[in-house]
Amino acid sequence: MPRYKKASDGEWPGYPHLRINDIETLTIHQNKYVAKAMVNNRKGRVVLLMDEELYNEFLTKVQERKGDKSARHVNAAVLDAVQDWMKQKK
C-alpha cells in the first residue's frame, strides 16, 4: 500500500523548495514527468520586458552562441547572464 503525506494547511509543503525526492506519493513517482512538472512548476520566475530592438538583438546573440533561438537556449542564456552578473556583484 502506498504511503501518502498528510495534507498540509495552506501552501504546498516545500514551496518553492520542492525536490522530486520530497514527493512520497507512489503514483506520482511512477510517472517521472508528472513529478518533474510539479517540481518545475514551483521554481522561481522572472518576467523581463524588452523593446523590440533589444529583444531581436538578444535573440540573434542567442542563435549565434547556442545554435538556435529555442526556449531552452533562451532560458540558458538568461541564466548565464544572471549568474555572471551575480559573480560580478560579489
2 close to 27: Cβ distance less than 8 angstroms: yes
Distance CA 84, CA 89 (A): 9
Amino acid 44: pLDDT:
81
Cα radius of gyration (the chain): 18
What's the pLDDT score for residue 88?
93
Query: What confidence tens digit (pLDDT) does each residue in 32-61 have?
Result: 777 778 778 778 888 899 999 999 999 999
Q: Around Cβ 78, how many Cβ atoms within 10 Å?
A: 14
Segment 26-31 long-range contacts (CB within 8 Å, at least 24 positions apart): 26/2, 27/2
**Is 86's pLDDT higher than 90?**
yes
Q: Is the pLDDT of residue 6 over 60?
A: no
* DSSP state letter for 5: P
Q: What is the pTM of this model?
A: 0.61
